[in-house]
């Protein structure tokens, strides 16, 4: 394999990566370790397979505030033949060492490019208020940007969460928890449990609490499970890609709640209903919400009768969730890191 082919493999990995670029950064840190510390053998995967995850996390925790939560198997896919296996990494390593870290610099330049794209997309939420904001225009900013499209599932999550959570709060929905009066003897036996786990006791057998919706958090790219849940017994799964029978079974099979809400594209709804009927799980689905529903509800929330009460808060929640999901790196700190490794001094037409 020549360097052009190795670079093409690296470019393919970068293109497929989500905005945080976990896998490309892992490659950069392996190459840095090989060039500077010289204590690994790029041909010997076992010399860096596990250690490289910690090297990567040290960078991502510093500049994006998080580390990969993917399964070990998914993380190791980076070394498969269709990604960056040792023989490809060795070619990149030779080029990188010969040119003072040029491949490392190339990866970190792509990292800054990706966050610059995210910042440009986020300007839309800053430049539009509830009178001009369009949820479809906002989503399309990510669909139409190749660097951001891989993260569209997370955008759907924050869009749904911002709407659902603000509406539940605006409605002042509450949840009541109580103990069956006929179970007083069981309560007496396990009162320490009910106090610590349920929040009830012999003196307080009724609990009122505000209804809330919660995001599960960052999930790996292969995850098909829960995206959001509510303290009133509902689970929410966001699905924006094409559905298959196997994926439909995975969605429901991986969530144990009895009331599941699925959010999907309008064109997928009929297929989902058909598949759920086939596998006998339709009874567990509370509702199937489509993009059309989201557009109508956003329009009503922003510019409807209660727009002033709900719209501004929903847009603020949307912005807060996106910043939390895609934290911009500290420009000054990243510049210090970048220049500290002398990446700014490297110039090569093939890599610039």
Say if residue 63's pLDDT is above 80. Answer: yes
How do beta strands 234-238 and 228-230 pair?
A: antiparallel
What mean pLDDT do residues 29-40 have? 96
pLDDT at residue 242 in the model: 53
What's the CA gap between 179 and 197, in Å, rounded?
13
For the ranges 134-148, 264-278, 298-312, which has the lowest average pLDDT?
A: 264-278
What global pTM score does this model have? 0.72
What mean pLDDT do residues 15-21 have? 82
Q: If you ran DSSP here, which 8-state letter would residue 196 be given?
A: I
Q: Which residues of 213-229 are buried (b: 16+ CB within 10 A; e: fewer)?
A: bebeebbebebbebbbb
List pLDDT tens digits, range 162-186: 999 999 999 999 999 999 989 999 9
Strand partners of residue 260:
235, 285
pLDDT at residue 161 in the model: 92
Write down the residue that tokens 């296996």 correspond to: 85
What's the CA gap between 14 and 312, in Å, rounded?
36
Q: In the chain, how long is the greatest CA-to-CA distance?
A: 79
CB 257 within 8 A of CB 227: no
For the ranges 192-206, 208-222, 245-259, which has the lowest average pLDDT?
A: 245-259
List pLDDT tens digits, range 86-102: 999 999 999 999 999 99
Task: Pick the closest to residue 208 from 241, 231, 183 (CA basis).
Answer: 231
Strand partners of residue 263:
238, 289
List pLDDT tens digits, range 211-240: 999 887 644 444 445 578 888 877 887 765
Domain edges within the chain: 3-117, 129-173+213-323, 175-209
Q: Which two tokens stand for residue 68?
A: 């990969």
pLDDT at residue 142 in the model: 81
List pLDDT tens digits, range 99-123: 999 999 999 999 888 777 677 777 8
List pLDDT tens digits, range 270-286: 877 777 777 666 677 78
């Amino acid at each position: 394999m020549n360097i052009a082919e190795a670079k093409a493999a690296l470019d393919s990995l970068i293109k497929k990566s989500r905005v945080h670029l976990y896998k490309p950064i892992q490659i950069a840190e392996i190459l840095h370790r090989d060039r500077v510390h010289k204590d690994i053998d790029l041909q010997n995967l076992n010399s860096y397979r596990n250690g490289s995850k910690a090297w990567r996390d040290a960078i991502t925790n510093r500049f994006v505030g998080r580390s990969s939560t993917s399964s070990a198997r998914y993380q190791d896919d980076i070394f498969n033949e269709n990604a960056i296996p040792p023989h490809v990494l060795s070619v990149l390593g030779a080029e990188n060492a010969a040119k003072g870290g040029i491949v490392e610099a190339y990866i970190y330049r792509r990292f800054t490019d990706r966050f610059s794209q995210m910042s440009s997309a986020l300007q839309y939420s800053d430049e539009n208020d509830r009178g001009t904001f369009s949820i479809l225009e906002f989503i399309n900013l990510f669909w139409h940007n190749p660097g951001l499209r891989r993260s569209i599932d997370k955008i759907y999550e924050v869009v749904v969460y911002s709407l659902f959570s603000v509406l539940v709060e605006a409605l002042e929905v509450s949840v009541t928890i109580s103990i069956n009066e006929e179970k007083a003897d069981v309560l007496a036996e396990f009162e320490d449990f009910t106090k610590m786990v349920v929040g009830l006791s012999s003196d307080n057998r009724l609990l009122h609490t505000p209804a809330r919706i919660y995001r599960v958090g960052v999930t790996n790219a292969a995850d098909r499970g829960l995206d959001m849940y509510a303290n009133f017994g509902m689970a929410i799964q966001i699905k924006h890609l094409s559905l298959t029978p196997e994926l439909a079974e995975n969605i429901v099979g991986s969530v144990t709640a009895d009331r599941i809400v699925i959010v999907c594209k309008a064109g997928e709804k009929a297929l989902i209903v058909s598949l759920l009927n086939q596998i006998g799980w339709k009874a567990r689905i509370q509702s199937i919400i489509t993009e059309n529903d989201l557009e109508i509800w956003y329009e009503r929330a922003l510019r409807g009768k209660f727009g002033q009460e709900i719209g501004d808060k929903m847009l603020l929640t949307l912005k807060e969730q996106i910043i939390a999901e895609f934290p911009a790196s500290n420009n000054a700190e990243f510049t210090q890191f970048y220049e500290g490794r002398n990446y700014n001094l490297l110039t090569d037409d093939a890599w610039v």
